[in-house]
Amino acid sequence: MNHATHGRAVRRTGATALVAAVLGGLLGGAPAAHSAPPPDRTAEEPARDAAGPDDRVRLDGAPGVWPRPQSLRTRGPAVPVGQEVLLVADEDADPYALDTVRDILRAAGAREVRTVRPGQETHARGLVVRAGDRAAERALRALGAPERGDLPAGGYRLAAGRADGVDGPGGTVALSGAGPDGLFHAAQTLRQLVTTGDGGARITGAVVRDWPASPVRGTTEGFYGEAWPHQERLAHLDFMGRTKQNRYLYAPGDDAFRQSRWREPYPAERRAQFRELAERARRNHVVLGWAVSPGQSMCLASEGDRRALLRKIDAMAALGVRAFQLRFEDASYTEWHCGADAERYGTGPKAAATAHAELANEVAAHLAKRYGFGRDAVPLSVLPTEFYQDGPTEYRGALAQKLDADVEVAWTGVGVVPSAITGGELAQARTVFRHPLVTMDNYPVNDYAGDRVFLGPYTGREPAVANRSAALLANAMEQATASRLPLFTVADYAWNPRGYRPQESWKAAVEDLAATGGGTGRPEGSDKPGEPGDRAREALHALAANNSSSVLDEEESAYLAPLLDAFWKARAGEDDEEFTAASDRLRDAFAVLRESPENLAGVAGGALSEEMRPWVRQLARYGRAGRYALDMLAAQRRGDGAGAWKARLELQRLRAEARESGVTVGEDVLPAFVDRALKAADDWSGASGGAEKKAGRSGERVRGGPAPLPGSPPEHAADGDPATAFRAAEEPAPGAAGDEGDDGSGDELVLRLPRARSLAAVTVQSEPGAGTRAAVEAHVPGEGWRRLGALSEKGWTEVDTGGLRADAVRLAWQDGSKAPVVHELTPWYSDSPGAGLELLREEVNAVVGGGPTAVGARLTGHRPTDVRGRLTVRAPEGFTVRAPRRVTLRRGVPAAPKIEISAGKDVRPGTYRVPVTLTAEGESLRRTLTVRAYPPTGGPDLARGARAGSSADETEDFPASAATDGDPGTRWSSPAKDGQWLRVELDRPARIGEVRLHWQDAYASRYRVQVSADGRAWSTAATVRDGRGGRETVRLDAPAGTRYVRIVADERATRFGVSLWSVEAYAVREQGREQEQGREQE
């Protein structure tokens, strides 16, 4: 659809740029969107008026049913299917629903399914299934099903179990539906109530009353790129039927026969395919739709062109198409295809809208006359030129006025690919267009980001979007089978948005796609760990979870986060067993990634692997990379430099392959882990150069060596990056090791130091097995070159120099050496500090008489061995400090001790300086922690219900008063400018000691809390320089006469304004006599 109009540009300019442009409202001169993100109560957080306890889905041990029913409760024991089943069906019962029921029963083990009409039943020896209003009503009542009532079209009732006076001893299943689709939907639920165990297949005893929230739910094939193969479309229609979707809109972006060649009929082969699609759609109770985009190639005023369009529509209807969409997404307001259009309509948005409405009205009238709405056809929908903008425009107003009332209007939400769609936005769009709205959501479509697939669940859409749209269609990806994962969740949401739980639905989607067969809908091979079904599910979950982030939700690889955190925490500790356990858990997760190609090969008959090959390969690549990363860091932990270096070379090769692959997997998680592991390894090996090289002060220079290969100069041997290397083009001339006064002017590779330094060790990382033979030497002033050791063939060489004072190191080549390859030549110095100390926060707050406040420290060793030290924290009088005294800084692994500080009840409020000192190898490093002691607070929230004002409100929907009204669902939002403020006027003066802020997603990264007695003279009571959003508590000690509190947002964290759900203010809790004002104490 029209996002893909811009999708062509995406492939030229890059996905990131397009998404930024889309969300910024920059395409097509779109009006600016709201300056704050929409409310965060979306589909995953049902509104307060959601279904009550009596209507909630209750699974109670039953298998999951998807889409999630509006009401399901278990009832009694399961009933066995058995070998003989009697199917009692109304004469006019839906034949496709009955076929589905028979297929389910046979797959569950029934050898004979005998079908009779109501009144023709004979004594039943086994299970009886009743389908249809007449056949099922008595059994439904006996089994405790609710009355039909006002069940909407597509709804159904189902009951399974045993009851007195109903059929025989084998149990009864009763199904009844509303409208033409209801019975078919009941059959799909029955499919999921079948379970298989040692005793054979059983149907869970249950009572269901269910209906769709959105009357039309389905898929648009509307992306630019290679269209789906015909067999994939057929398979997708089966998937839609199984998930109770009822509309498929054919609209591939590169199909010329619905765009530039719209006048021409499809070739015979394509026409045959459409007929087959239509038949498959009927069997699955899906309405087949077709979209036409005549665009600028049609003369809208031409009777001949209009007749040609109607002929094409009739031809498609003859092939089985029953829903039509007319698209004007690429229309110009100033250029027409013919002069007659300019003469008839003029130019400008209003003229274009008039032309579009006129054509749409003629098409709608033709459809209504020939096919009849509600019988063989459905209302025409129109995708207007302005389908994603916000608010009223001249074009939208004219279109709404001139378009016939029965014609539906399509929109995508505010933005082409909006991160959220709210009920308020939908209501505003309905007000603007004044026609029923078809929400055509551009998720999970990915043609604007060719390196990505979007497999995460559907989020960010409020329930009203499903409840109040005439239709909800989700635009699929080019990868048809993979699209079923997110589209499964879209179907779940569209059916029951108030009961929708994205993560649960997404897990069910993985289960559904991973299933290898079974007419019962339950996956085979799922009862034994390690069986193919289990491995396929694991691999599919990993594929989906590592491709889950999107504009809708930025979270990626969520299941890996705790494993990664635990691993890095264990690596920083001294417990080897904990490190091994954390490594093993992560290793198992990486094994799933590594083995994903073979384990996904059978999913969907191999279709998934075929279309997802680049992403599956990338996933496996990261699985191998993860294994090598763990091997590398484990080898370093046990002191095996050669093993670690070998693993690092494999890891950096895989990282290079991943970067060149052209696809993205595990964005900001898997690549970040690899990068962090490589960085950790380089800290251990010394390649990163420690504090000196990081500060750019090392002054080391490399020269010499044989002539290099292009792009591999000698400088690469000491650039701090082991991924680069000096690579010689030829074998070197042997050096004269140890000669007095030798200046190394031959082929030796020489690293000159800026001055003579004390060396603790020298590390060389060279290519293993490359045949490089050399001596490692150091130049001692006044003595000459001294041999330190020989280069190892394993590629890892580290020689202890014992504090030798030298001004250069070199590699002197030996006889028989091949062309050398040297990745890194690293001197370790012993005349610089052996450790580093960094406070993660330089300022902390402490409540007088309150609990401890923790601040983290980062301690690093700068030696090729472990460094032992002493940490000292000197607390001022009245403070209590807890911190480890003795610390061991393992080579290359930062330590992260916590320092806890608390202020006693007798401490005066004020600012205190706390020195923190790390002493290691006879040297001390000192940092100062600033502690601000504040008086304790208590009592009620003084801001609740208080009068509030602001510099400006974004709109009247987000007033300043919303931040103090006590309603968690309302908020204040500012225009998109820095420096905006919110002011609260307290009911009475108070000494304010604490302000609590609850930010919406649009928050301030830097802000001040100001106070005033009269609302005119203001003073800054607190400054926050690192705001992080969410819920933040700001401590202060304002004067006792404070009447006004003001939050000044000096700098926004997002491109939106700033928005606060609430502001709370609490007074200082007086203890006996009034405490003195704070003082500054060193």
- Active site members: 330
Please provide the distance, in angstroms rounded to a whole number, between the alpha carbons at the two ends of the chain.
Answer: 66
Where helices occur in 576-725 by DSSP H, the ranges are 576-594, 596-599, 607-611, 613-637, 641-660, 670-685, 690-694
Burial profile 17-31: b = 16 or more Cβ within 10 angstroms, e = fewer: ebbebbbebebbebe
Residues 6+ apart with CB under 8 A from 946: 964, 984, 985, 986, 987
520: left (phi over 0), alpha (psi -120 to 50) or beta: alpha
Strand duo 408-411 + 381-383: pairing = parallel
Four-point Cα dihedral 718, 723, 729, 735, nearest 10: 40
Cβ(427)–Cβ(38) under 8 Å? no
- Three-state secondary structure call for residue 158: strand
Query: CA-CA distance, 627 to 938, in Å (whole number)?
Result: 53
Neighbour tally for 614: CB within 10 Å: 14
Residues 6+ apart with CB under 8 A from 191: 100, 104, 242, 519, 520, 521
Nearest CA to 87 among 187, 182, 157? 187
- Token reading at 282: 């009927």
Cβ(900)–Cβ(930) under 8 Å? no
Cβ(284)–Cβ(237) under 8 Å? yes
Nearest CA to 174 among 149, 137, 203? 137
Query: CA-CA distance, 710 to 728, in Å (whole number)?
Result: 9
Query: CA-CA distance, 825 to 687, in Å (whole number)?
Result: 8
Cβ(742)–Cβ(810) under 8 Å? no
Burial class (CB in 10 A: 0-12, 13-18, 19+), 164: exposed
Cβ(825)–Cβ(702) under 8 Å? yes
Sign of CA dihedral 33, 39, 44, 50: negative
Where helices occur in 924-974 by DSSP H, the ranges are none
Query: CA-CA distance, 53 to 45, in Å (whole number)?
Result: 16
- Three-state secondary structure call for residue 406: coil
Nearest CA to 678 among 745, 631, 610, 731? 631
Cβ(704)–Cβ(714) under 8 Å? yes
Task: Give the amino acid at 160.
Answer: A
Neighbour tally for 565: CB within 10 Å: 11
62: left (phi over 0), alpha (psi -120 to 50) or beta: beta
- Token reading at 318: 């003859």
- Three-state secondary structure call for residue 468: helix
- Token reading at 91: 């004469």
Residues 6+ apart with CB under 8 A from 20: none
869 beta partners: 887, 920
3-state secondary structure 622-637: HHHHHHHHHHHHHHHH
Query: CA-CA distance, 848 to 907, in Å (whole number)?
Result: 6
